[in-house]
Amino acid sequence: MKKYLAVDSGGTKVLAILYNEDFEPIRIARVGSFRDNTTPPELVRKNMNTLLERLELDKGDVLDTVTGIMDGTFFGRLKELCVIRQTVPCGEMEAGLHAAEIFGDGLLALSGTGATMFGKYNGGHYYAGAYGAAVSDAGSGYWMGREVMQAVISDYEQWGEETLLTELVCRHFGKGKDTPEETRRQLNGAIFSIYSRHD
């Protein structure tokens, strides 16, 4: 049986699918990010080890093709473990445009942990954004979450307008917006939960 591996390495998570020649999944594994600009080095190593364990790849296993959006360090680890006959790198632009069925000219706005605008026109490929969540990436999922938390904090501290977001965020992470002290406790819990998520 031939084995193939597809990997999507993003800023929030890494998803890998090991499958056979009939496109039937053998194993599917998901772990936290490998991105060293947003993830501590020890956690990156842990995530890589966990992914390899969940895929249950043994030393000397043959992978006919490895494709997808891959981190270079992980790919190096994979080459040490397995025999890889062929690699087909595929960036977010190619994967996104194909998923959106844009095979001719067109635009694609990708909003994940980061945000990027991709375009194809007259045979050329163009993109804007992808500077990283810590710098910009307005329009990304990370940016949206940060904007929500900023609105909640400004409401609580009474230097911004009151919105429904405060109650929704507190309700999501705890009991709701009951008293000022309860709100602060819920906000602290929400922020801790966000920054302590590893997978």
Most confident of 4-8, 101-105, 187-191: 4-8
User: Is 3.30.420.40 the CATH number for 4-90?
Assistant: yes
**Separation between Cα atoms, residue 68 and residue 88, nearest integer Å:** 7
Average pLDDT score over the chain: 82
- Residue 19 predicted with pLDDT over 70: yes
Cα angle: 26, vertex 100, 134; to 5 degrees: 85
For residue 93, what pLDDT is reported? 76
- Residue 189 predicted with pLDDT over 50: yes
- Residue 199 predicted with pLDDT over 50: no
- In tens, the pLDDT along 62-77 reads 999 999 877 778 888 9
DSSP class of residue 174 equals S
For residue 27, what pLDDT is reported? 96
For residue 180, what pLDDT is reported? 54
Task: Report the greatest alpha carbon distance in the chain.
Answer: 63
- Residue 198 predicted with pLDDT over 60: no
- In tens, the pLDDT along 111-145 reads 777 778 888 889 888 878 777 666 777 777 778 88
Mean pLDDT calculated for residue range 174-198: 61
Cα Rg for the chain, rounded, in angstroms?
21
- The values of phi and psi at residue 63, to 5°, are -110, 115
- 177, two tokens: 């917006």
Q: Please, which pLDDT band fits residue 28 given cuts at 50, 70 and 90?
A: very high
Locate CATH 3.30.420.40 in the chain. Answer: 4-90
Q: Please, which pLDDT band fits residue 23 given cuts at 50, 70 and 90?
A: very high
Number of H helices, E strands in the chain: 6, 10
For residue 167, what pLDDT is reported? 81
The CA-atom distances, in angstroms, between 105 and each of 12, 40, 91, 120, 141 are: 29, 39, 18, 5, 26
The CA-atom distances, in angstroms, between 169 and each of 111, 133, 149, 180 are: 21, 21, 8, 14
